[in-house]
Amino acid sequence: MVHLKRLAAPPHLDIKVKEYVFTIAPRPGPHPKTECIPLLLILREYLGYAERADEAKKIIKAGKILVDGRIIRDYKFPVGLMDVVSIPDTGENYRILPVYRKGLRLIEIPREESGVKLGKIIRKMHVARARLQLTLHDGRNILFKEVTDEVRQINTRDTLKISVPSQTILDHVRLEEGYYALIIRGSKQGLHGRIIEINRDTPYPSKATIRLSETKIGEVSTILDYVMVVGREKPEIILPL
């Protein structure tokens, strides 16, 4: 896909739909095309550091923009949930997070938080030589050469707190009642609160539900797969209000 019509663009993109016909299409990468923002649009539409696409391309190709601590020179690179966008020249750091009724947005974060990232575990499997591999929501694969009892207790839908870009595991947060969670998909995307009930008593695992309290609109319920646990007593990262 070379171009994307603005009328067909995902609704979370903060672009003027009727001003032009086409916009930048994200390149295939760590996030689905419907759940990401192309890097060029972040620079031009969201941050306002360029007025035209060619200006934004020059900044990106000069290596001025970091995503998760790595220089990205691809202006179509898909930036998605929990990714950290850093601009060393200005000292700015942003995290991509869902905002209620607005979709994915850039939330400014302090420098000390720019080196950590939360990743939801979507797959757990054994690979060659009896090693264990965890796959996170952003496509990262974390390999364990030694499968200890502590590693065996890590389950899908849990969250890993890792350092970027080294991918060192800093913490493991289980999906449990009483912990803090963020809704990352669906009509309630962007709401966050404390888990008060997890209902897995269903013949279809994909239909398991979860209830959160203390959100900005009160108690809400959604599908379990739409939720990401982000902390124990409080969130491990800054979340939008």
pLDDT digits (tens, 9 = 90+) for 160-183: 999 999 999 999 999 999 999 999
Tell me the residue range of the domain where 224 lies: 180-231
Domain count, the chain: 3
Which of 110, 126, 146 corresponds to the end of one domain?
A: 110
* Tokens at 73, concatenated: 């020179």
Which of 110, 136, 164 corresponds to the end of one domain?
A: 110
| Distance from C-alpha of 3 to C-alpha of 21, rounded to nearest angstrom | 10
Tell if the pTM clears 0.75, that is, is over it.
yes
Q: Do 197 and 155 share a structural domain?
A: no
Q: Which of 164, 167, 169 is nearest to 72 (CA)?
A: 164
Regions in the chain scoring below 50 on pLDDT:
1
Q: Do 122 and 102 share a structural domain?
A: no
| Distance from C-alpha of 159 to C-alpha of 87, rounded to nearest angstrom | 27
For residue 138, give the CATH number of its domain: 2.40.50.740
Q: Do 131 and 85 share a structural domain?
A: no
What does each C-alpha distance from 91 to 15, 84, 180 come to in angstroms? Answer: 25, 13, 29
**CB contact at 8 A, 117 and 164:** yes
Task: Output the furthest CA–CA distance in the chain (Å, rounded).
Answer: 57
The pLDDT score that the predictor gives to residue 1 is 47
Q: Do 95 and 133 share a structural domain?
A: no
Q: Do 18 and 91 share a structural domain?
A: yes
Q: Do 74 and 8 share a structural domain?
A: yes
The pLDDT score that the predictor gives to residue 2 is 62
- Whether residue 236 is contained in a domain is answered as no
